[in-house]
Amino acid sequence: MKTPKGHEILKIIRAHIEKYKREARVYNIGIVTQIGDGIARVHGLVTVMSGELVEFNEGTTGIALNLESKNVGVVLMGNGLKIKERSLVKGTGKIAQIPVSEDYLGRVVNALAEPIDGRGPIPASEFRLIESPAPGIISRRSVYEPLQTGLIAIDAMIPIGRGQRELIIGDRQTGKTAVATDTILNQKGQNVICVYVAIGQRASSVSQVVTTFREKGAMEYTIVVAEMADSPATLQYLAPYTGAALAEYFMYRERHTLIIYDDLSKQAQAYREMSLLLKRPPGREAYPGDVFYLHSRLLERAAKLSSYLGEGSMTALPIVETQAGDVSAYIPTNVISITDGQIFLSADLFNAGIRPAINVGISVSRVGSAAQIKAMKQVAGNLKLELAQFTELETFSQFSSTIENTTKNQLARGRRLRELLKQSQSEPLSVEEQIAIIYTGANGYLDALEIGQVKDFLKQLCSYLKDKKPKFQEIISSTKVFTEEAEVVLKEAIQEKLKLFVV
């Protein structure tokens, strides 16, 4: 056998060196020094970022929230029961993000965008940061398109526009969730993607909402993000941001979206729990000082995008629970100052049988009639004023034994107007039906009926218009104006129906 010469050996070594590929990997590693109550104190993690995802060696994920000089405060996104002192923690270099895609429509997911409806994984090729920056001033345009809720009291007097943020506020058990879910049901056929975020709710309540959506065919265009009352505080805190990221995915694809946060009081409580465990200094009502920023950075993401960005929109309806109607508490005042108006639900009205229990006097939309079609403005322009005058007159009339005829007539008209605003749950009305109902009440056609007959008559009138006078709906839907021709058709229908009306 021939012995290789020196230059041949050199050639072989060189060839091996050229083929050799060395890959250097740098890991950011830390050690757990303290663990408990869903919070881990980690020594090390020198280059960790605020909000970065970290992985514990037993598989739990966490978010680095407190970057202190001697340690890092990490909140766990799970129970972390197997994490021990001196366990290793590895930085991922990623800020919290979730997968997004069209396939999320019709699904129920948790705060990490993982499916919890038992229908298997959701395919997704794209990711979005959970905390994205809100669109800037130049990226937005003013709100001008209506978002119909299907609730006559809201669409007529407290209109909501696409891209608006309208707060739903009231005590527990006053119908806040019902208003929000009815709005989602009314988006059927309106080309609006809906995201319902349930934060700290009972599992049975969330299941009931999902069942209603399925029965009414609303799940086709809806995503439900749910973190129940037994979920870790971290996940309850993250759920609204996850919902916003999913809605933004569609908004930046020139689509219209509606997001419900049910409710932000529970998110603030979860954030307070996390902050106190992280030893952040407490402020008013023991909430941390940045709780205002918690909600402002979430709600500012709702916007109507400029024509340059495709005019997509994200409309936010945050829900906040009050205690004994106290709107001056910390979280309610914070959210009121961020939003473009509020719908106040009163426990007294709810107990008096007025559903939805909207207190029209202190409810307001700061976008106003810019979010209404012209036909609705024409018909409902003075409705709020008339109801306010009626409420005042009704209060004063209680102290008087003799009431003159004009006052009697005004009170009778007011009671019928209040009656026509009552609406059953999960029965949203189209804008054409609302216009017909308001016109009938405001022009005194209901005055001859007993109060108990009002709802039945209006129901029959809507069916009569649909079957016998379709021209009315055609005129309103095509022109968006309450024309003289539409008024003539409606008057004929009302008079014909009054003659035929059977209780």
Helix axes 264-277, 291-299, angle to 10 degrees: 140
Give yes or no: 366 in active site.
yes
Distances in Å between the alpha carbon of 203 and those of 198, 209, 230?
10, 10, 9
Matching residue, tokens 């954030």: 271
CB–CB of 227/239 below 8 Å? yes
Under DSSP, is residue 425 helix (H, G, I), strand (E, B) or coil? coil
Q: What is the per-residue DSSP string for 296-347?
A: HHHHTT--BB-GGGT--EEEEEEEEE-STT-TTSHHHHHHHHHSSEEEEEPH
Contacts of residue 49, defined as CB under 8 A and 6 or more positions apart, other chains included, come to 64, 93, 95
- Please tell me the distance from the alpha carbon of residue 239 to that of residue 245, in angstroms, as a whole number: 10
Name the residue type at position 260.
Answer: I
d(CA 96, CA 65): 11
Q: How far is CA 446 from CA 58, 213, 420, in A?
A: 70, 34, 10
Write 22-26 long-range contacts (CB < 8 A, 24+): none
Bridge partners of 199?
A: 227
- Rg over alpha carbons for the chain, rounded to the nearest Å, is 29
Q: Give which of 450, 446, 448 is closest to 438, Cα–Cα.
A: 446
**Closest by Cα among 242, 233, 236 to 274:** 233
Residue 72, classed as helix, strand or coil, is strand
The active-site residue out of 284, 366, 413, 418 is 366
- 63 with 51: CB under 8 angstroms? yes
Residue 165 has phi, psi (to 5 degrees) of -120, 110
Catalytic residues: 366
